A and B are shown apart, each in its own frame.
Chain A
Amino acid sequence: MTDKRPDPANPATEVDVKLEDLVDREGLAELCQSFFTLFGIPVRVLSQDGTLLADASREHEVCNYINTLASGRAACGATVGAVKISEPDESGTLVHPCFSGQQYRIVSIDYEARRIGRFILGPYLPAELTEVPDSLLEVDPKIDHEKARSLLIKVPRAKSDTVQRVARHLKAALDLILFSGHKTLLTSQMHLLSVRESFRELTEKQAKLQEAYDRLKELDRLKSNFLATVSHELRTPLTSIIGYSEMLGEGISGPLNPEQQEFVGTIREKSEQLLSLIQSLLDMGKLESGTMSVRRAHVRIEDVLGEVLKTLTPTARKKGVLLKLEGQGNLPELRADAERLRQVFTNIGDNAIKFTPQGGSVTLRTRLLSKRDGQEVGLALMAPVRAQIEIAVLDTGIGIPPGERDKVFDPFYQVDSSSTREYGGTGLGLAIVKRLVEAHSGTIRVEENRPQGAVFVVALPVAAAEELS
């Protein structure tokens, strides 16, 4: 054999076909019955091991009579027993005589040239029989010759070639049934096996993908670690640069002329920029590794936004963008890290101003969300509903295309990533914002501002009563 042992469940490898597997017994019984009704010859079907699968027969009166006699019963039993175990030879047909003069015709059932069973036609009376045979008249001393003779004549007579034709028809009908049954059996087996094989294939692929995914996750963790370490190491010398340029600028080591003052100022300004960039990287690393500490305290969002407004006003004024704060007063308190929230809204606001052209406006709008619309499914099973404060930052800038709205929160992502892009930035700001909001159990999303611009909507849960007390 050229490969692994054939799978016995695989129909595409050789399997022994069994008659009892291919036929429906009730259907087979009906078929036999219809042959019996049509030709008057009893029909029985046996599997290869001799199990009776279908039986369409009625005892002939002569047989009933013989069975009332002791020796007759014994002789009948012996004949029937012999018929049941007789197997036709290669020709496929065997005629077995009965002592009563009747006959049985035993015909093999073959499938793909393999014997899988046989059927028995009879007993019937051969048309050629003219005399009541002595074997019947002598079977029992008590036999009534006249009665035996009159009953035997009632048995349906059949010519040899008629029986042969009946056998041929039945064989052909069975052959078709077997073929159809086999085909259906193979089809259903192939269905099952194909599904199983596909499943096995998918499982293997899934395992490989999982492995690759785990590896990528590990690589991502290493990258974050590296980023954190490098950022930390970069910050140390930078602190010295800032410190010394500050001292230089303050004239501690002697007065500077205006040009020197300006140069030192630039060094300081750029170093501060670099520091904040490194700070972002560090924050990102901490947020990703979950080591960012959030110091929660009672916070009023109006205070936070007021400060953000103060911080951003110079930038907005410089760009000619109108910056305003709208919303309800008396909002409930949050339990949050005020410093981090300031960072969040400064970042979003700064972004909004950056992408809003001169003459546009940036609005910070707050409102309390306390009710759900009651249409959501399964809310009763979820945690108790908490009121949320929604802070929307609306701008009239260039907006964000719908397909990009989720991606803007990915680290290092830029809507316009071309080298000639108009707006600068590291692509870290919004990624940090999202993680900070999530660290406060809040959500952030981007919507469209009509007719123009983008809206960043942050929702933060209001402190629970027990947290406030």
Chain B
Amino acid sequence: MQLNFAGREVTIKLVYYGPALSGKTTNLRALHELSSAESHGRLMTLETRDDRTLFFDMLPLVFRAGGVPRRPGERSYTPLDPTTGMSLRIKVFTVPGQVLHGATRRLVLQGADGIAFVADSQVSETENNAASFLDLRSNLKELNVSLREMPMVIQFNKRDLAGIRSDDEIKQLAAQGREPVFRAVAVTGEGVLETFFGLLRLTWSKLEAEHQLSRIIGIEPHEFVAVAARKMGVQREVGSMLATCLGGSLDFKLGEGGERS
């Protein structure tokens, strides 16, 4: 997170990690599609070859403080911040999944506040999911970050394919770890917002615990996601979206639970 008091900005960085072809870029595209044009910038895709990410994709979501009068004629800086007029920028990145781009993944991970791990639901991809997770852990270690202190949600993507793990299996898997688990079909947008808001909620609760953001921005974690959703033009109710989460907790507690390896 970066706090720029002079520029009245808070910037949060979220990274979509996962094995090659698990649907990270597809998640970002869907997020771009599902959010209002005012809330997002262009989806930037850096360097691709054969439609594969080489460096990263980046989607900036900006919630400007103020500019949204409550009633005609009334100027106010609500709802993001009633007092200071801070604005919030969320930068969503993907990493290149292919094994050989390890150095790039590490660069993209630098400064991440939260991670969405996009796993492929197909049973045949189990090994790739695990290898990518180990890669994530070792890359974080290189950056002196422990996974324990990193908000992370897991998305089991491609629920529409054959040869996938059953919902029951995923429920059992989810019960083992501390991370919230979401199911998704990113190509149709299903589960994409759920994953995103789950991660945002978890990340925000951690940043709140560390930096008392509610004092700076003037917004509580449980309200925060709802405000973000509204600003993004999402009509659906946030509570019901977050309720699709399996296992884990959306409130970050440092040092609780164990890392899965």
Give residues in A with beta carbon < 8 Å to B. Answer: 1-4, 6-7, 10, 12-14, 90, 112-114, 179, 182-183, 186-187, 190, 193-194, 197-198, 201
Contact of A190 among B11, B55, B87 (CB under 8 A): B55
Find out whether the CB atom of A179 lies under 8 angstroms from the CB atom of B42: yes
Whole-angstrom CA separation of A2 from B209 in the bound complex: 12
B residues less than 8 Å from A14 (CB atoms) = 2, 11, 13, 89, 91, 111
1/0 per residue, CB under 8 A from A, across B101-119: the answer is: 1111011111111000000
Among the interface residues A1, A14, A198, which one has the most CB atoms of the partner chain B within 10 A?
A: A14
Q: Are A90 and B44 in contact (CB under 8 A)?
A: no
Enumerate the 4 nearest inter-chain pairs by beta-carbon distance, A residue then B residue, closest first. Answer: A197-B103, A113-B62, A6-B111, A13-B111
> B60, A112: Cβ atoms under 8 Å?
yes
In angstroms, Cα B11 to Cα A76, docked, is 43
Is B149 on the interface with A (CB-CB < 8 A)?
Answer: yes
Residues of A within 8 A of B111 (CB): 1-3, 6, 10, 12-14
List A contacts of B143 (CB < 8 A). Answer: 3-4
B145 at the interface (CB under 8 A from A): yes
In the complex, B66 has a CB within 8 A of chain A: yes
Residues on A with beta carbons closer than 8 Å to the beta carbon of B145 = 2-3
Decide if B44 touches A179 in the complex (CB within 8 Å): yes
Take A2-B149, A14-B2 as given contacts and tell me if A190 and B107 are in contact as well, using a CB distance cutoff of 8 Å: yes
> Which residues of chain A have C-beta atoms less than 8 A from B67's C-beta?
90
- Complexed CA–CA distance, A198 and B143 (Å): 15
Closest B-chain residue to A176, C-beta based? B42
Determine how close the nearest CB of chain A comes to the CB of B148; give it in whole angstroms.
Answer: 11
A sample of 12 more A-B contacts (CB under 8 A), given A6-B111, A179-B42, is A4-B143, A6-B2, A10-B111, A12-B93, A114-B7, A186-B55, A190-B47, A190-B55, A190-B104, A193-B107, A194-B101, A201-B103
Which residue of B46, B62, B113 contacts A112 across the interface (Cβ within 8 Å)? B62
- Proximity string of chain B (2-43) to chain A, C-beta cutoff 8 Å, 1 when within and 0 when not: 100001010101000000000000000000000000000110
Q: Which residues of A contact B226 (CB under 8 A)?
A: none
B44, A186: Cβ atoms closer than 8 Å:
yes
Q: Which residues of A contact B87 (CB under 8 A)?
A: 113
In-complex Cβ contact of A182 among B1, B44, B89, B104 (8 A)? B44
In angstroms, how far is the closest chain A Cβ from the Cβ of B37? 12
Within 8 A of A (CB), among B39-77: 41-42, 44, 46-47, 55-56, 58, 60, 62, 64, 66-67
CB-defined contacts of A182 to chain B, threshold 8 Å: 44
B261 in the interface, Cβ–Cβ < 8 Å? no
How big is the B interface, by class? 35 or more
Closest to A5 in B: B111
B170 contacts A by Cβ under 8 Å: no
Contacts of A13 in B (CB 8 A): 13, 110-111
Give B95-139 interface residues, CB cut-off 8 Å to A: 101-104, 106-113
In-complex Cβ contact of A12 among B2, B101, B102, B110 (8 A) = B110
B44 touches A194 (CB 8 A): no
Supposing A183-B46, A201-B103 touch, asked if A7 and B110 sit within 8 A by C-beta, the answer is yes
Using A3-B143, A112-B41 as known contacts, say yes or no to A10 and B113 having CB atoms under 8 A apart: no
> Contact check: which of A1, A4, A198 meets B103 at CB < 8 Å?
A198
Complex contact B13–A194 (CB within 8 A): no
The complex places the Cα of A182 from the Cα of B44 at a distance, in Å, of 9
Let me know if B144 is at the binding interface, CB within 8 A.
yes
What are 12 A-B pairs with beta-carbon distances under 8 A? A1-B2, A2-B149, A2-B150, A3-B112, A12-B93, A12-B110, A13-B13, A14-B89, A90-B67, A186-B55, A197-B103, A201-B102
A187 to B2, CA, bound (A): 22
Report which of A2, A112, A186, A197 forms a contact with B106, defined as CB distance below 8 A: A197
Residue of A nearest to B104 (CB): A194
Q: Name the residue on B nearest A16 (C-beta).
A: B7
- Scoring A7, A12, A194 by chain B CB atoms within 10 A of each residue's CB, the highest score goes to A12
**Chain A: minimal CB distance from B61 (Å):** 10
How far in angstroms is the closest Cβ of chain A from B52?
Answer: 15
Contact with A along B144-155 (1 / 0, CB 8 A): 110001100000
Cα separation A344 to B13 with both chains bound (whole Å): 72
* A112 partner residues in chain B, CB cutoff 8 A: 41, 60, 62, 89
Contacts of B42 in A (CB 8 A): 179
Q: Which residues of A contact B64 (CB under 8 A)?
A: 113
